[in-house]
Structure 1
Amino acid sequence: MKYRREVDGLRAIAVVPVILFHAGFTAFGGGYIGVDVFFVISGYLITTILITDREAGRYSLWRFYERRARRILPALFVVLACTIPFAWLWIPPVALEDYARSLAFSVMFISNLHFIEHSGYFDVQSELRPLLHTWSLAVEEQYYIVFPAFLWALGRFVRARHIAAFIAVAAGSLALAVWGASQFPAENFFFTPSRLWELLAGSICAALLLNRAQMRHEGLAALGLVLILGSVLWLRPGDPSPSLYTTAPVLGAMFVILFASGDTMTGRLLSAPPLVAIGLISYSLYLWHQPVFALSRIRGWEEALPGMIWLLIALSMVLATITWALIERPFRTRVWLRERKAVFGASLGGSVMLGAIGFSLVAWEGVPQRLEGKDQQAFHKLITADRAVNLSGMCADGPRPVSDKLCRAYGPETAASTIAVLGDSHAAAILPAFEQITEGRSLRVMQGIHPACPPLLGVYLVKGGAASRKCHDLVKGFAADTVAQGVDTVFIAARWSLYVKGDLTRKSDPFLLSIDPAMPRMSDADYFASFKAGLINTITYFEEAGLRVVLMDQVPQQVRLPETVIAQAILRGLSKDDIQVEITNSFITIEKHEALVRVSRDILMEVARALGAEVMSVNAFFERDGRYAWMIDDKLLYFDADHISPAAARALSPRLEKVLQVD
């Protein structure tokens, strides 16, 4: 097929927003749509190649898959192999097991299935997953397996028939994507059938252009570029994808492919040498950027060094250029591995080797033995001791059933007074503090806790799908049962900032709140108003029933995972004193924590004062020299970055006892 410089420019327009989005620049909140644009380009190129070869009588599946292997695998194998030693040296056992599974699944092109299965609230954070981006390669390769058979079934090329078939399948896929976005948004993102319409959009472009002169239209070509760039700036991380929102960048990519001929203004812009240069290395750049970003965050460099992200972007560009020049281009032009058998043999060998490494690390559970035999045994014991906490909250009779009723956590079945602990996983983390409070008292502690579920009445998570409605109904049930159980005091704890601002790295739209179950797209002011309305609804409901309401201020969220900090220090062979310095330096500053919780705390205090509810804080317990510590006196105070450990919860028991004024 004829080379189109403007398509390489379009690749640059696709990859740059993805990189800026993953770098954490909030202005590029819709940068993830670059992947959708890549899918359209891929569908266009592959369909053109396959139909052209068939019409010319040189169609061969072996030839097609050889091309795919030369295009995809050499650079992929190099990047995957380069991540292994850094993962071994820097990633602690539990997270290494997740990495290893994604490594093995990447070479099998099913890593999207891994991320579908492990996309929950308590799974490894996306920005700490070096191979998260391989999900899109998996989707494309799965498409490449099915699509040639689909074309073969359509027979010789007949434009109207092929376009009709592509549109029919694409419509079904888009309908599935829209349904999935409302019901299972996290899983829908990685689900291949929900992405087929984007690839088929490129196929439609190929069928429209095949055996015809390139179409030309200044207005539609410019509109296409505006739709793509506008989506990058207008869309947010919490907007469902793929969904109807995604039709804008997909249509934009189609308009550029169809109408931006080389002599249009848009075509000339996309053919500019800098954009073409980035487009040529875009595949390698896409492969490198996520491991570079994620590994630097795991190592703590991005937090420690201001402006580090720009150096990481530059490093990704340099690595991509080298990979394109020394790996991608020589394999594609047959400088290396000239014979097809050699290509398939090397592909199989590389897949088996990398897959074996991945599955071995999974079988060895992340190789915790890496931390054994070191001098720093006291620190080693901190991260290998049994410090598990059930972040759904335990009931006196065992694990909490999935129910909208309270269960007894501590104390006798009947008692003179009752406290209800309500909230998300932060409430579960503080729950062990109540065990000591009930000892020797006629006091019963009930709990209604559900992870990642704001304990507020009348509000919905904006991107929760079916889980959002379930959360809403559970909270409503917990509240009703609290009143029915004759509770005296309601104690509510949650990660409040998550529902207003997000986390420390970026705005976390999926956990923002709306009073509308249809989850409309709203402004920040509307999200704040929804949070405030939920607080008012909740406090008013309990106070009108005659209950005392105590709200717990959010405990500090750490910048880095304690387990990662300690494991890395041990693996690097630091002395005990140096490990202690490393630990202390990783504590979050009070200033950074205050910036995170400022909006949610202001709203919390305003509503509490207006309605007569009480707010208590335990944060002074963690304060040390202008920071909030996650380890004090060789005791680990955090289970992860934001949930306190059972040991910390028990140490806080006297503070809660004083505030709750238990007799």
Structure 2
Amino acid sequence: MLASHHQTPAGVRPHPSSHGAYRRDIDGLRAIAVLCVVVFHAFPECLPGGFVGVDIFFVISGFLISGILFEALQRGHFSIIDFYIRRIRRIFPALLLVMLASLLAGWFILLPQEYRQLGKHVLGGAGFVSNIVLWSEAGYFDTSAETKPLLHLWSLGVEEQFYLFWPLLLWAAWKRRRAMLAILLTVMALSFVWNLVSVHQDAVAAFYLPMSRFWELGAGALLAYWRSRSAALGESLANRLAAIGLLLIVVALVVITKQDRFPGWWAVLPVAGAFLLLAAGPGAGVNRRLLSQRTMVWLGLISYPLYLWHWPLLAFARLLMGQTPSVQVRLGALLLALVLAWLTYRLVEIPVRLRASGRKTVVMLLLLLLMLLMAALGGLVVKRDGMSFRKLGGLAMLFNDEVRQTASLNQFELPHPSCASLMGQAHSRDWCAEPVSAEPPQLLLIGDSYSGAYAPMLARLYETNPQPQWVFRQFARGGCPSLIDYTSGYCLDIAQRVAQYARETPSIHTVVLALNWPGHFASDQSGFPVALERTILYYRQLGKRVVVLLSPPNGANPKSCVLRGIHLSEADFCNLPLARAEQMDEHYRDRLLPLLHRLQVPVFDPFPTLCDQHGCKVIDGPRILYFDAGHLSQYGAWYLADHAAEALRQLLLATPAS
């Protein structure tokens, strides 16, 4: 992505490309791309579409790397081994350094569960399958994504998966030169169609998985092929293309937001913009006056390590603060990322990539060995359950027995063998629970992962009063609201399974809906309320009551207390201020509650139980009530069952609908 063979440090002879001499404007375009990504991650409100910088990088990478391959094929010097040696020397050094630094920082900062996840991400990053690992966990824009220090390695995974087969495909096609263009266009067309289909069926998969992204790298490859066979453009045409390309990128940055289905058709804007800027050549006005400026070129030279460093620094800052860091902290993190990127470039990348060229095989083997060791280290962290034996103080928390016990309750899924039959093929984002009982279930708890967080509450009610009316079943899929005819792909699948189970289980008299109400209302202002009403009416037609569980006060993050070394008993520090809790909740309550009132849907509101005039509870003595900023922990669900038992009984055990 950010890694190419065309970054040229001062004092080092630049690498010529297949399209002529080193192009400063390409480093300038890379600077625009990395600035877009960095600004979006640090200040998303300032640049809502900044994440399209990754798509720009894909086009640049496809253009430069494919250009090198075409040049080697033309000269008869093609070597797949030499290609991968160059890739390893280019990608591995900075990546190894950042992953090691993240593990060291995580040792002092992260809870065992978080550190275990980081170990899994190190393992995925070392194997260049981070995109697949992250896809299996959750969405790129979910809340937990902001605290995954190696989230950004997904793009490296996509790129390296592309380059596993691309050089071999070009080599095979080169023997039949007439087929080269057809192969390029076929790969792009198949990938683009896959992208358009999958973005509606599984938006998370479309974002992360390689098949929906290959067309972006293929666009750069197509341009490289065209440039290898064509003369440079005339000045007038080049100027127009460059101006249009820059305009398309600006429009993408302003118009596209994380609420849009991306990549999809939206990705055409940044991809086409980068394509046109590269096609215009170094002599175009925009490329010469803007992209070739000294500062832009310098940022382009350090763009790869800057990309690698900036996100872990921001993620660890969020973890330490327990919320979005202040503007000053985020600016400081970006300044530190710049310094670390420059040092990495000068002290690591240049020596390994350029000055060790005479020992390239030895260097490659050493880098491969180090990457294997890094993968083993990540695997060890996973196997040792996040190194929960750590006893540390000072910079972070003291992992004493009390905190370890608390962390063990800082979860919300209650797995049960029945999940296999309820869910069909088990999915990594599936939740399922039911009490151990011979009685048929009378309550059906559905929704997204928030229903999983509420499942221990119903289990507690049954355990304290094991009566048939408290027997329940819960199953859901993370990120999927389980609404009728609302979503597609795996979300549609789970909604259909839920509906089928409700139809075929006459003992079910009440369907309980528990969703991430703030998140769904924020992401879909129009379609979501309509789908919700349609779902309520559907279950009523089946003769079921429908009850809604509102979301807990949103914005609480207990780890801000724990990670700063504050004792769990200091509730005043850990509690969520009432004003902030109300501010976080009002944007969805103002729309949801009138709708439920009109449909006469009973509602359970955890707010009165968790909050008073002093604030909202985040901890209760030595126990954490929240799993993260939105989900209740297992103990938090028990707390509601114990303190709101009467309200829940009256709500859930009312007379079934006729």
Q: TM-score, structure 1 length as denominator?
A: 0.82
Give the deviation of 1:444 after TM superposition.
5.2
Give the deviation of 1:601 after TM superposition.
0.7
Does 1:589 pair with 2:589? no
Give matches, 1:302-313, under 5 Å.
303=324, 305-313=326-334
Q: Which runs of 5+ in 2 are unaligned?
A: 1-16, 425-431
Structure 2 CA distance for partners of 1:306 and 1:626, relative to 1, 3 Å: farther
Deviations 1:83-128 (A, max 9, x none): 2210111122222222112213323323333224334799992222
Report the counterpart of residue 406 of structure 2 in structure 1: 382
Report the counterpart of residue 331 of structure 1 in structure 2: 352
Report the counterpart of residue 11 of structure 2 in structure 1: none
The residue identity in structure 1 corresponding to 2:198 is G
Q: Work out which of the residue numbers 598, 615, 623 in structure 2 matches 1:627.
A: 615
Q: TM-score, structure 2 length as denominator?
A: 0.82
Does 1:84 pair with 2:103? yes
Structure 2 CA distance for partners of 1:391 and 1:603, relative to 1, 3 Å: farther
Does 1:207 pair with 2:225? yes
Structure 2 CA distance for partners of 1:662 and 1:121, relative to 1, 3 Å: farther
Structure 2 CA distance for partners of 1:346 and 1:441, relative to 1, 3 Å: closer
Report the counterpart of residue 255 of structure 1 in structure 2: 276
Report the counterpart of residue 598 of structure 1 in structure 2: 586
Q: Which runs of 5+ in 1 are unaligned?
A: 502-511, 513-526
| Distance in 2 of aligned mates of 1:603 and 1:477 | 29
Give matches, 1:410-559, under 5 Å.
413=439, 421-434=445-458, 439=465, 443=469, 445-447=471-473, 449-452=475-478, 458=484, 460-461=486-487, 465-474=488-497, 476-477=499-500, 480=503, 485=507, 487=509, 491-501=512-522, 512=523, 527-540=524-537, 550-559=547-556
Does 1:612 pair with 2:631? no
Give the deviation of 1:481 after TM superposition.
6.0
Deviations 1:130-152 (A, max 9, x none): 11222222232233332222222
| Distance in 2 of aligned mates of 1:71 and 1:534 | 49
Does 1:655 pair with 2:647? yes
Q: How many residues align?
A: 616
Report the counterpart of residue 5 of structure 2 in structure 1: none
| Distance in 2 of aligned mates of 1:222 and 1:375 | 57
Structure 2 CA distance for partners of 1:156 and 1:88, relative to 1, 3 Å: same
Q: Work out which of the residue numbers 362, 365, 370 in structure 1 matches 2:385.
A: 365
The residue identity in structure 2 corresponding to 1:643 is L
Report the counterpart of residue 515 of structure 1 in structure 2: none
C-alpha contact 2:444 2:512 (8 A) present in aligned 1: yes
Does 1:347 pair with 2:367? yes
Give the secondary structure class of the aligned counterpart of 2:603.
strand
Give the deviation of 1:258 after TM superposition.
0.9
C-alpha contact 2:434 2:459 (8 A) present in aligned 1: no
Structure 2 CA distance for partners of 1:67 and 1:628, relative to 1, 3 Å: same
C-alpha contact 2:458 2:470 (8 A) present in aligned 1: no
C-alpha contact 1:189 1:241 (8 A) present in aligned 2: yes
Deviations 1:501-542 (A, max 9, x none): 2xxxxxxxxxx4xxxxxxxxxxxxxx3333332343345556
Percent identity for Structure 1 against Structure 2: 29
